Structure 1
């Protein structure tokens, strides 16, 4: 298919100087045998170690390497956005810099793409090198998202995927500031297919996503693709009001019919704390959505590029 010949591998890197040389060696071996015009676009997401120096050395040795350096650490979601915004080939494939997603599977992704699929996403059948807690929380997150969101986000699927030119053009139209890329990749639609694989341990170093950052990413996903929490807060408020109204009628009736001595302190405090807790939870949920709306209306740039080494525009 003539419109499915060129491919850019997009890799966002943050403090990955230890894993990048081996990662690029493996990637280079794959691209040497790949029947496609392939290049690699590395995005340095404001690394504080020697990542940029390593990337410059790779670019000097390999003419297929292109570089973007962001002005600071904007986070993986925006670093991926920057990379995909600068892709001018027939397709892009997103790959992690830590080697957990094997570059040796790229030919299989390309084969599916040339069968006519616009999105080929890798589905993890195993997650080696990760703790049981991380595997459990990841599985729970995808199951919760499938219940809350009308956008069908595939379970056990990360950013490892190939996207055709029409999908990339569609993603460029989505300029929201609070980004959950896994959801955006699915939301645009087009023909999508899964490619199962086993995820390997990291080549070097540790994950940049601790549990706090993963929790915040989960909040981004839920609030970006579902209003169920807001609706749930409404339902809880209505139910609590009905129960409180019924309880109030019971107290009035009991006082009129039998009289009612003053009740004890524990029961009064229990009711007050329960109602106060429900109100604070509801306000917290509203605050999450309001905070995201506040960030959107400021219309700041998604990212800032400090340095770029890209081929000249055609």
Structure 2
């Protein structure tokens, strides 16, 4: 019988984890597959780990991983997928915005021959208009800048075949943007549309600051367009400054006007200085990424693990 593992990264999700598992278990019971669940605790500070342990103790098909600290969702997701030994894996968040009841449709498309089946949001309930706008703007910007087609309005909720999992395991970059990596590996991919629900309980961990950092991560991971933009912006600023200087010189030679003084000089200096700082910031972002990659640090460390069907283990 084919085996399916559901990977659930979680950080401070104690308020919703039990309700999530109850809904997920009902869905998995109806699938004609051998199913198990792997929960990954990304250094939670509430009772998330205790609830995960209780779920694992009550159900032999539930496994748990506890990271040594909060490494971030991308690393937690990577840790879970690294420990999957199944014919396919489903990635889903625990906040119940992504309905577990959609998993049978993902499995159906996988059995039809697709290696990656991603869930695309047709609507986003429970989110502000500003967040919907910024999310749409990000995905459309990625379409323009990136050479890899990242699906619009699509999060991490998806199914990956064994072949896709093996390909993904070879991508060990430290600065990880999983939505881009899922698309980058290629293979046959298709979408299943759904209506996204509001969060059942608890608070979102994705404020605008973290979302902005993720957006920068995605753009710099899969596009060098910002570097090219900095080059062209610098070139354009230089042309404008040259034309402005030429205008001032011609006025002084032909009309005898005095050379403009302090105000115009400050405008030019501040304009060119701003452009230079912007270009240096873009270059610094890419240099920082190279710096982090050269250190070759592990993506995560596991404090405890309890895989489905195994005994509880603790790593030194």
Identify whether the pair has TM-score above 0.5, normalized to the shorter chain.
yes
| Count of residues paired in the alignment | 310
Q: Which residue of 1 aligns with 2:154?
A: 157
Deviations 1:72-116 (A, max 9, x none): 000001100000000010010001011111001111111110000
The 1-side partners of 2:134 and 2:237 are apart by 30
Q: Deviations over 1:16-74 (max 9, x none)?
A: 01100000000111111111111000000000000000000000111110110000000
User: 2:66 & 2:255 partners in 1: Cα distance?
Assistant: 77
Q: Counterpart in 2 of 1:248?
A: 245
User: Which of 261, 273, 276 is the matching residue for 1:276?
Assistant: 273
User: 1:312 Cα deviation (Å)?
Assistant: 4.9
Aligned pairs for 1:145-294 within 5 A: 145-294=142-291
Partner residue of 1:64?
Answer: 61
Structure 1: runs of 5+ lacking an equivalent: none
CA deviation string 1:124-181 (max 9, x = no partner): 0111111111111111110111111010000000000000011100011100000000
Shift of 1:241: 1.5
Shift in Å at residue 255 of structure 1? 3.0
1:13 to 4, 7, 10: 10
SS of aligned partner of 2:9: strand
Q: TM-score, normalised by structure 1?
A: 0.96
Q: Return the TM-score normalized by structure 2.
A: 0.95
Question: Displacement, 1:269?
Answer: 1.1
Residue of structure 1 aligned with 2:90, choices 93, 100, 105: 93
Aligned Cα RMSD in Å? 1.3
Alpha-carbon distance in structure 1 between the residues aligned to 2:300 and 2:99? 28
- Which of 22, 27, 30 does residue 24 from structure 2 map onto? 27
Query: How far apart, in 2, do the equivalents of 1:87 and 1:291 lie?
Result: 31
Q: Which of 36, 42, 45 lines up with 1:45 in the alignment?
A: 42
CA distance in structure 2 between the partners assigned to 1:62 and 1:132 by the alignment: 41
SS at match of 1:74: coil
User: In structure 1, what is the Cα distance between the partners aligned to 2:256 and 2:201?
Assistant: 74
Partner of 2:314: none
Residue 66 of structure 2 aligns to a residue in which SS? Answer: strand
The CA deviation at 1:226 is: 0.6
Shift of 1:243: 2.2
Q: Distance in 1 between matches of 2:213 and 2:243?
A: 39
Q: Does 1:308 align with 2:305?
A: yes
Deviations 1:232-263 (A, max 9, x none): 00001111112222333333333333333142
Segments of 5+ residues of structure 2 without an aligned counterpart are 312-316
C-alpha distance in 2, partners of 1:225/1:304?
26
1:63 counterpart SS class: coil
2:65 counterpart SS class = strand
Distance 2:201 2:303 in 1: 27
